[in-house]
A and B are shown apart, each in its own frame.
Chain A
Amino acid sequence: MTVNPDLLPGPGEARSRQRRKRMTIYYGVSIALGFALGFGLANVEQGDGNFVLGDIESLTLDPAVAVVVALGFLIGLLVLPAWGYTQIDEHQARTNLIGMAAGCQVTIAGYPLWAALAMGGLAPMPTAFGVFLLAFLGMAATFGVLKLRG
């Protein structure tokens, strides 16, 4: 059976598929690593503290486990994103930069705002993890809005 060559996908389509596949693998590995670190940390931490609520002074980790977890965060939050930046085009890079700037701005505004509310007794005192979440969620929300707007 012969196929009309005009109906075959062009070389550009193939390259686009490869790019999508590469990015899907990248996102998949990132999400899997995030879940593994989150659930892993929840299962190996010892003590009465709560990582999410910022009470990490009461938590302890076996030194070897701590090194593995730290390496996981290094790979998941620095090495993988840095590699990801080399794989994206200028439009995606612009979107990411706007998202990062928004995360930074939310943190700059959010911490003093949160601290003021806490001093007034209207919110719990700011925690390091809470400030981390401010930056992360500010960035992710902005990134999501930009993706939706195309």
Chain B
Amino acid sequence: MNNRLKVLRAERDWSQAELAGRLDVSRQAVNAIETGKHDPSLPLAFKIARLFNLPIEEIFDDSQS
């Protein structure tokens, strides 16, 4: 699944560790999500959406690329 997490994080000038702390996950989890190696659970996806104040579908894209 594609996502815009890295772009959104960069727009706020946050490090992976900063974003990880705000989401209460490990930095490795943020890295795995950004690189598409891990799809977040629904609760974590909602948490990410709330943090960036965006609908989930504006962050995650499930269309096959």
Contacts and interface: CB of A to CB of B under 8 A. Distances in A.
Interface of A: 9-17, 19, 88-92, 94, 149-150
Interface of B: 14-15, 17-29, 31-33, 35, 37-38, 40-41, 44
B40 A90 contact: yes
Contact of A91 (B14, B17, B24, B38): B38
Contacts of A150: 28, 31-32, 35, 37
Given A88-B26, A91-B38, A92-B29, 11 more contacts: A10-B22, A12-B17, A12-B23, A13-B17, A13-B18, A19-B21, A89-B24, A90-B29, A91-B28, A91-B32, A149-B37
A9 B25 contact: no
B35 A11 contact: no
A10 B26 contact: no
A19 B26 CA distance: 7
A9 B18 contact: yes
Nearest to A14: B21
Most buried by B among A13, A92, A94: A13
Contacts of A11: 21-22
14 contacts: A12-B18, A13-B17, A14-B21, A15-B21, A16-B20, A19-B21, A19-B26, A89-B29, A90-B25, A90-B29, A91-B25, A91-B33, A91-B38, A92-B29
A88 to B, nearest CB: 7
A137 to B, nearest CB: 23
A94 B26 contact: no
A16 B29 contact: no
A11 B16 CA distance: 13
The 6 closest A-B pairs by CB, nearest first: A12-B21, A15-B21, A91-B29, A12-B18, A12-B22, A89-B25
Contacts of B19: 12
